């Protein structure tokens, strides 16, 4: 038996990622904009020795169906992620701090600067989740009516990434000499301008901040389409996977890792973290009861809205207790392909009623109800079965379920020798076992 170490990330949602989580959470009601509360959640994750504290994001509110969205805290009230992480950097010491920022809405210079600053402020703990975004709410805040087509967004993302990476190498590591005697603040020979003119971006300049503790912040991605996987194979160091079962997890893992060679990369230079949500109990039955109680609390409006958004089809007029007609499935997804495929598969294969479908659908992850032993067994099965290098954990009710995990599952993982008992490194790269990239200009 191997003792590969499990890596853990927390997909942080203030009151939990279950649509009914906020109804049961013991977090303050204003958790979404309460920095003191966020600080306590980050501290809890750090107590659990997580590699990464992660904030997902879309820069938009929902603008329609407000009567439905008003039942769900998820979208319309949240901190800007890099600002939030910069504040949390001062309250934490070890845990990595990752956030989403979209290549469809930022300029590369902004992103390079924001994440370089976060990497300095946190002493080497920053990670950037590159997304191309997947809904038109955000597009409409940035001068567009609609997002550009899926594959075109990735063409832009690739050029965006190349510019950002180049900007992060503006200064060689030892460029800033801070020499009072000779009145030399930096060595101009160790400055390198980015001179880029491409299809989407034109830049002549350098980043006005020295190279960061990690060399470059860690690059994260979560795309699972063909284009997304190729982009990840070329650029990503962490990928959030979203496979509903072991077999598809293994396929995704083998597929993505096999693409790395095309870009001259080693399999271990990219860590695949599988989405996992857990409900811990003294027994499996107790954990299941807690979960089912929560499922029954999903407001039908919210359940149907979540399905409709990910299937890209309006299911709101359909009867709750009859199977969803196969004709409702659009021919192709433009937003989240993995979520779309998951729902379409459930409609086709399981013939579920609308109510059953929204109670069973879990966005891109596996919910596991069980004892600490069962949960550890599951994680080891994925690790040893070649489906994951770690897990992107989300919890239905925060901080409640996160606390259960830290207090009950973490000790079990440690007892089996598959999880750290203390942080051994200081940077996110060190936690994940990723090398620090050399500056392209250094000799
Ligand atoms: C754990 C996880 C976190 C994600 N976070 C975000 C996010 O913050 N913002 C976003 O627009 N998409 C997010 N996504 C969605 C992916 O980036 C999405 O798959 C991608 O935008 C669509 O690309 P694809 O068609 O290549 O799969 C996340 C996905 C996963 C699994």
Tokens of 264: 């001259």
Q: How far is the CA of 205 from the centre of ligand 1 (A)?
A: 31
Mean pLDDT of the chain: 95
Tokens of 65: 């169906």
Tokens of 338: 């993995």
Domains of the chain are 7-432 (3.20.20.30)
Q: How far is the CA of 151 from the centre of ligand 1 (A)?
A: 14
At residue 364, the pLDDT reads 63
- pLDDT band, residue 2 (cuts 50/70/90): low
Q: How far is the CA of 57 from the centre of ligand 1 (A)?
A: 9
Q: CA–CA separation, 363 vs 341, rounded Å?
A: 11
At residue 336, the pLDDT reads 83
Best probe residue, ligand 1, of 79, 134, 259 (max atoms within 8 Å of C-beta) = 134
Q: How far is the CA of 140 from the centre of ligand 1 (A)?
A: 19
Is the distance from CB of 433 to CB of 393 less than 8 angstroms?
Answer: no
- pLDDT band, residue 244 (cuts 50/70/90): confident
pLDDT per position as a tens digit, 353-374: 999 999 888 776 668 999 999 9
Residue 44: is its pLDDT beyond 90?
Answer: yes
Q: CA–CA separation, 359 vs 303, rounded Å?
A: 7
Q: CA–CA separation, 22 vs 75, rounded Å?
A: 13
Q: CA–CA separation, 234 vs 241, rounded Å?
A: 16
User: Which positions ≥6 away from 184 have C-beta within 8 Å?
Assistant: 177
Q: How far is the CA of 309 from the centre of ligand 1 (A)?
A: 14
Torsion region of 183: left, alpha or beta (phi above 0 gives left; psi -120 to 50 gives alpha)? left
At residue 366, the pLDDT reads 66
Mean per-residue pLDDT, 412-432: 98
Whose C-alpha lies nearest to ligand 1, atom 14?
222
- pLDDT band, residue 136 (cuts 50/70/90): very high
| Torsion angle (degrees, nearest 10) of CA 83, 88, 90, 94 | -130
> What is the pTM for the complete model shown?
0.93
403 closest CA partner among 279, 261, 312:
279
Residue 1: is its pLDDT beyond 60?
Answer: no
Whose C-alpha lies nearest to ligand 1, atom 15?
222
Mean per-residue pLDDT, 225-232: 95
Give the number of the atom of ligand 1 that is nearest the alpha carbon of residue 338. 27
Q: How far is the CA of 223 from the centre of ligand 1 (A)?
A: 6
pLDDT per position as a tens digit, 157-214: 999 999 999 999 999 999 999 999 999 999 999 999 999 999 999 999 999 999 999 9
pLDDT per position as a tens digit, 28-43: 999 999 999 999 999 9
Tokens of 407: 């207090």
Ligand 1 pocket, CB under 6 A: 11, 56-58, 100, 131-134, 150, 222-225, 228, 240, 242, 275, 336-338, 364, 392
């Amino acid at each position: 038996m191997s003792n590969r170490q499990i890596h853990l990330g927390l997909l942080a949602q203030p009151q939990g990622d279950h649509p009914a989580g906020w109804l049961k959470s013991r977090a303050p009601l204003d958790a979404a904009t309460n920095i003191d509360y966020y600080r306590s959640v980050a501290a809890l994750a750090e107590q659990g020795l997580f590699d990464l504290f992660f904030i997902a994001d879309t820069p938009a509110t929902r603008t329609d169906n407000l009567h439905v969205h008003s039942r769900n805290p998820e979208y319309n009230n949240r901190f800007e992620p890099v600002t939030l992480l910069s504040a949390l950097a001062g309250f934490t010491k070890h845990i990595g701090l990752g956030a989403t920022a979209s290549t469809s809405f930022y300029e590369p210079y902004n992103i390079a600067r924001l994440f370089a600053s976060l990497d300095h402020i946190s002493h080497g703990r920053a990670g950037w989740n590159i997304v191309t975004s997947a809904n038109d709410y955000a597009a409409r805040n940035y001068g567009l009516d609609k997002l550009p087509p899926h594959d075109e967004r990735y063409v832009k993302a690739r050029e965006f990434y190349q510019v950002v990476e180049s900007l992060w190498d503006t200064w060689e590591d030892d460029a800033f000499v801070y020499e009072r005697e000779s009145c030399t603040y930096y060595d101009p020979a160790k400055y390198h301008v980015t001179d880029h003119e491409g299809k989407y971006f034109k830049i002549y300049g350098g980043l006005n901040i020295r190279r960061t503790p990690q060399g470059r912040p860690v690059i994260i991605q979560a795309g699972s389409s063909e284009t997304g996987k190729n982009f990840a194979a070329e650029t990503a160091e962490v990928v959030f996977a979203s496979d509903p079962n072991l077999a598809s997890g293994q396929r995704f893992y083998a597929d993505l890792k096999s693409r790395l060679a095309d870009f001259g990369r080693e399999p271990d230079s990219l860590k695949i973290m599988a989405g996992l949500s857990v409900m811990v109990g003294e027994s499996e039955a107790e954990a299941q009861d807690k979960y089912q109680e929560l499922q029954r609390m999903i407001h039908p409006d919210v359940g149907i809205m979540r399905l409709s958004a990910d299937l890209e089809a309006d299911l709101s007029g359909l009867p709750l207790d009859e199977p969803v007609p196969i004709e409702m499935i659009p021919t192709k997804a433009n937003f989240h392909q993995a979520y779309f495929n998951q729902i379409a598969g459930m409609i086709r294969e399981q013939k579920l009623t609308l109510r059953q479908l929204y109670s069973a659908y879990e966005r891109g992850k596996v919910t596991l109800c069980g004892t600490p032993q069962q949960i550890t067994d599951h994680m080891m099965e994925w690790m040893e079965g070649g489906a994951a290098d770690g897990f992107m954990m989300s919890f239905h009710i925060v901080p409640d379920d996160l606390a259960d995990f830290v207090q009950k599952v973490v000790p079990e993982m440690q007892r089996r020798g598959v999880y750290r008992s203390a942080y051994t490194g200081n940077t996110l790269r060190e936690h994940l076992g990723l090398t620090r990239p050399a500056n392209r200009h250094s000799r």
